[in-house]
Chains A and B, each alone.
Chain A
Amino acid sequence: MVRFILRRLLQVIPVFIGTTLLVYYMVFALPGDPIAALFGDRQPPQAVIDTLRSQYHLDEPFIVQYGLFLKNLFTFNLGNDFTGQPIAASLARVFPVTAMLAVEALAIQAIFGVAFGVFAGLRRGGWFDSTVLVASLVVIAVPTFVLGFVFQLVFGVQLGWAKPTVGANADWGSLLLPAVVLGLVSFAYVLRLTRASVSENMNADYVRTATAKGLSRPRVVLAHILRNSLIPVVTYLGANLGGLMGGAIVTEGIFNVPGVGNKLYQAVLRTEGPTIVSIVSVLVLVFVVSNLLVDLLYAWLDPRIRYDQ
């Protein structure tokens, strides 16, 4: 087990260097002078532009810029973004917000998705099953931004149940509306995955055995059917967490959430290589860790899966 985790963590190194190099190169290749773009029609004195440019090493060749970035990263000094703010501080501001949003969305899709899926799967073909199937199809078919605008308009503006945007001082309550929007599409997928897997496992031999042993219905459903049905669901949720942490750019934009997605969007607009790659680096780590957790969960869910030979 320990060796498995270590091996997985060692894989992070090439993945990390590969992704950051690629992203850094893509930012570098973007057209336009990011320093000149900070100013618009009224340009500052040339000395200001040139000083900024050398301050951010924009006058160096690509490989030197990337090397400096890596050096900074390993000395835990991410430097400043183009507005002069320390990048580390802005990451520390945006990641907790997005983490809250992601956890909230994940909780919504996991809890409701699995619960609805189990009910639908147990009574396949019943009215509940048919209704959620159609409803989830609608949710999957409607793009997130449409859902976002509709929810914002209906619950934020018309009904006034929630604040239409998040803005400063994000907390669990103000993030609920965007979390619902964000979680809704994956909720539909989780529901459908759970339903399919539950209805498949219902006819499995071990379920019949468990029932024959005289186990109570709840115990059969929770300990036997559900546990065995969760493997595809957990895989999906694990991969999803990484995506959610990457900042739902559209959702964060609609609800003005000061999170990773918004920061990343602005950084891309300003061609701020160091900010973009710093965010991506953290995201790579999030992906790796959440996938590792998923793999470890497999072993717990299905004891036949072993990682140590």
Chain B
Amino acid sequence: MRFTRTSKALGIVAIAALALTGCGAGGGTTEGSSDATGDPNKVITAYSNEPQNPLLPANTNEVYGGRVVELLFEGLRTYDADGKPVNALAESIDSSDAQNWTIKVKQGQKFTNGEAITAKTFVDSWNFAANSKNLQNNGFFFESIAGYEEVSAVNSEKTADGKTKTTPAPTAETMSGLAATDDSTITVKLAQPEADWSLRLGYSAFFPLPSAALADPKTFGENPVGNGPYKFEKEGAWVHDQSIALVKNADYSGPRESKNGGVTFKFYTDPGPAYTDLQSDNLDITDVLPSNALKTYETDFQDRNATKAVATNSTLNIPPYNPNFQGEAGKLRREALSYAINREEIAKVVFNGTRTPAKAFVPPVIDGFKEDLKGSEILKFDAAKAKDLWEQANKIQPYDDSKPLQIASNTDGGNKEWIDAVANGFKNNLGIQAEIQPFAKFAEVLNLRKSQQLPGLTRAGWQGDYPSLYNFLGPVWGTNASSNYEKYTNPEFDKLLKEGLAATSTEDANAKFNQAQEVLFEDLPGLPLWDQARPIVWSNNVVKAETGWNGSILYYNITAK
């Protein structure tokens, strides 16, 4: 019998209640023998929540819709469990100059409604997704293709109250760099050479869409028809706010063939009840644990849990508009802050091993990751050095201590504990005032970041879209990049990224990207904190499960008893 999750909170009441009820007979017994291949017809139930958009690959950019879309569709490539791209619908992807690409599409592939998938299907889908008029959230994934500018053009005008309003105004319907020369050949011309371009072809934005999706995306998104390892159980398998039922697509033949009969995603507004359901085998698998279960899941689910490092990291961003962190003194202070964070201990004590101390600006699971980059020694905790650097900085320019140094974060995601620990590190090792600047919601923090109104440090995180060093650097730290809210800019960094993209071999590209990281270590626009490891637990109905490179459960690989 275990009641680890609740016993701490409930204390005496729980014990009293259990005494009254005679305490029961203990947890379920495992019965029956489990063979390694499992029952191929059994349907798995999995934790999820209501997707925020109609289920369209080019429009789904949040995790709960994304996991469904990835099972319903198959793209030119897919990623194996380690993040290595493997060809799926693509027979070959070639380029001699990293700018002009030729993709051969496998023949005879069909959507589950019988519609054939040809090179033209991809071209039409991509033009649809990139067109600003279609308002697809993932439209910018096509930004490298020549002609994207015209297709995605927008019109910005000032409204009466001084705000700008952006409306779609495409000047072309198709991207000039994209063509289907015959049924099996796609030719792509990029605006500039990009060595890692083919890596992203496994991302959901690049999935093919049947013609019905292009005609009426909203209706299609309610009952999507795809070509992936699973399909909707029936019309209306998505019961809003409750569940989505997928069954195995028997016609699928590809690298992700399903080992079970289907997956039913049950929606939970809170991970707590899901954990309870797992303990009583009412739910089969979850990748989201309530924060109070992080210390107990390994005993609650002995031999039924797995924890794997994933491509998600966290940083503490330092706004360049805070005078304390500008100039020569600011640089020393940024280093001092980094030395004052005991990443090792916080990862162990606060996160219970579900985080590993950061080694760079990119998590180690990404291909091309390099340890011990120049400047990365600041990631090691060193109280004496922190104190020393801080005092040196104060000699150059006194520290404005009129307000405590604040660390801004939303507090609804279990962030308070580690921020308190980091703030205490600053207090004890640097002798300054530091505290959390709590917000009820993520949206508030984001708004203030966008309008440059957070003079303190800000928690930031990045989950890889596709397994590439560039994806962790370009969109986050590049000048004017989409998620560079603190507006860090360094021409040298931008130049190295551009050179990396233009390199014709992955090795050369990664070397440039790692050089670019050394620029970041020099500037420290943010302090790398830790990389995530994702724990998952499963019920007695599951034999084995694992997560992929980005932390999503590989649902097709789950074997059931």
Enumerate chain A residues within 8 angstroms of B1, measured Cβ to Cβ: 158
Asked whether A153 lies within 8 Å of B61 as measured between CB atoms, the reply is no
What 1/0 flags go to B153-185 for Cβ under 8 Å of A? 010100100010111100000000000000000
| CA gap between A74 and B168 in the complex, in Å | 33
Enumerate chain A residues within 8 angstroms of B475, measured Cβ to Cβ: 42
Contact (A48, B276) CB under 8 Å given A42-B61, A158-B1: no
| CA gap between A39 and B399 in the complex, in Å | 37
Shortest Cβ distance from residue A95 to the other chain B in the assembled complex, whole angstroms: 12
Whether A75 sits at the interface, judged by CB under 8 Å, is: no
Asked whether B483 lies within 8 Å of A41 as measured between CB atoms, the reply is yes
Whether A13 sits at the interface, judged by CB under 8 Å, is: no
Shortest Cβ distance from residue B464 to the other chain A in the assembled complex, whole angstroms: 11
Chain B 242-258 residues near chain A, CB threshold 8 A: 242-243
Asked whether A149 lies within 8 Å of B137 as measured between CB atoms, the reply is no
Contact (A165, B282) CB under 8 Å given A39-B61, A39-B62, A156-B276: yes
Q: Among the listed A84, A93, A169, A254, which residue makes an inter-chain contact with B53, where contact means beta carbons less than 8 Å apart?
A: A84
Closest B residue, CB atoms, query A142: B13
Asked whether A157 lies within 8 Å of B276 as measured between CB atoms, the reply is yes
Contact (A93, B241) CB under 8 Å given A47-B167, A156-B280, A256-B274: yes
Whether B24 sits at the interface, judged by CB under 8 Å, is: yes
Asked whether B280 lies within 8 Å of A160 as measured between CB atoms, the reply is yes
| CA gap between A153 and B54 in the complex, in Å | 36
Whether B329 sits at the interface, judged by CB under 8 Å, is: no
Closest A residue, CB atoms, query B221: A84
Enumerate chain B residues within 8 angstroms of A160, measured Cβ to Cβ: 28, 280
Enumerate chain B residues within 8 angstroms of A90, measured Cβ to Cβ: 240-241
Enumerate chain B residues within 8 angstroms of A41, measured Cβ to Cβ: 460-463, 483
| CA gap between A34 and B154 in the complex, in Å | 22
Enumerate chain B residues within 8 angstroms of A51, measured Cβ to Cβ: 135, 167-168
Shortest Cβ distance from residue B268 to the other chain A in the assembled complex, whole angstroms: 5
Closest B residue, CB atoms, query A256: B273
Asked whether A44 lies within 8 Å of B441 as measured between CB atoms, the reply is no
Enumerate chain A residues within 8 angstroms of B270, measured Cβ to Cβ: 253, 256
Asked whether A265 lies within 8 Å of B277 as measured between CB atoms, the reply is no
Asked whether B240 lies within 8 Å of A89 as measured between CB atoms, the reply is yes
Asked whether A149 lies within 8 Å of B21 as measured between CB atoms, the reply is no
Asked whether B18 lies within 8 Å of A154 as measured between CB atoms, the reply is yes
Chain A 83-101 residues near chain B, CB threshold 8 A: 83-85, 89-90, 93-94
Asked whether A47 lies within 8 Å of B276 as measured between CB atoms, the reply is no
Enumerate chain A residues within 8 angstroms of B444, measured Cβ to Cβ: 31-32
Closest B residue, CB atoms, query A82: B52
Interface size on A, residues (CB 8 A): 59
Closest B residue, CB atoms, query A32: B443
**Of B3-11, B68-76, B359-367, B523-531, the one touching chain A:** B3-11
Enumerate chain B residues within 8 angstroms of A269, measured Cβ to Cβ: 441
What 1/0 flags go to A132-167 for Cβ under 8 Å of B? 000000000010001001101110111110011101
Asked whether B167 lies within 8 Å of A271 as measured between CB atoms, the reply is no
Enumerate chain B residues within 8 angstroms of A34, measured Cβ to Cβ: 443
Shortest Cβ distance from residue B97 to the other chain A in the assembled complex, whole angstroms: 29
Most buried by A among B27, B54, B61, B441: B441
| CA gap between A262 and B273 in the complex, in Å | 13
Whether A303 sits at the interface, judged by CB under 8 Å, is: no
| CA gap between A81 and B338 in the complex, in Å | 43
Asked whether A84 lies within 8 Å of B218 as measured between CB atoms, the reply is yes
What 1/0 flags go to A21-45 for Cβ under 8 Å of B? 0000000000111101111111111
Shortest Cβ distance from residue B142 to the other chain A in the assembled complex, whole angstroms: 11
Enumerate chain A residues within 8 angstroms of B446, measured Cβ to Cβ: 32-33, 36-37
Whether A255 sits at the interface, judged by CB under 8 Å, is: yes
Q: Among the listed A32, A159, A164, A271, which residue makes an inter-chain contact with B282, where contact means beta carbons less than 8 Å apart?
A: A164
Enumerate chain A residues within 8 angstroms of B490, measured Cβ to Cβ: none
Asked whether B52 lies within 8 Å of A164 as measured between CB atoms, the reply is no
Enumerate chain A residues within 8 angstroms of B25, measured Cβ to Cβ: 158-159
Asked whether A36 lies within 8 Å of B14 as measured between CB atoms, the reply is no
Enumerate chain B residues within 8 angstroms of A32, measured Cβ to Cβ: 441-444, 446-447
Chain A 55-81 residues near chain B, CB threshold 8 A: 59
Whether A54 sits at the interface, judged by CB under 8 Å, is: yes
| CA gap between A212 and B443 in the complex, in Å | 73
Whether B140 sits at the interface, judged by CB under 8 Å, is: yes
Q: Among the listed B24, B276, B483, which residue makes an inter-chain contact with A42, where contact means beta carbons less than 8 Å apart?
A: B483
Contact (A47, B443) CB under 8 Å given A164-B282, A258-B242: no
| CA gap between A39 and B14 in the complex, in Å | 40
Chain A 254-278 residues near chain B, CB threshold 8 A: 254-256, 258, 262-263, 265-266, 269, 271
Asked whether B154 lies within 8 Å of A33 as measured between CB atoms, the reply is no
Enumerate chain B residues within 8 angstroms of A85, measured Cβ to Cβ: 240
Closest A residue, CB atoms, query B165: A50
Shortest Cβ distance from residue B50 to the other chain A in the assembled complex, whole angstroms: 7
- Could you show 18 A-B contacts with beta carbons less than 8 Å apart? A31-B444, A32-B447, A47-B166, A82-B52, A84-B53, A93-B241, A153-B3, A153-B6, A157-B276, A163-B282, A164-B273, A164-B277, A165-B273, A165-B282, A253-B273, A258-B242, A266-B50, A271-B443
Give me 6 other A-B pairs in contact (C-beta within 8 A), A31-B447, A93-B240, A168-B266 excluded: A31-B444, A36-B450, A41-B483, A46-B166, A49-B166, A84-B53
Residues on A facing B (Cβ under 8 Å): 31-34, 36-51, 54, 59, 82-85, 89-90, 93-94, 142, 146, 149-150, 152-154, 156-160, 163-165, 167-169, 253-256, 258, 262-263, 265-266, 269, 271
Q: Which 8 A-B pairs have the closest CB atoms?
A: A37-B443, A32-B443, A168-B242, A158-B24, A44-B137, A256-B273, A32-B444, A46-B166
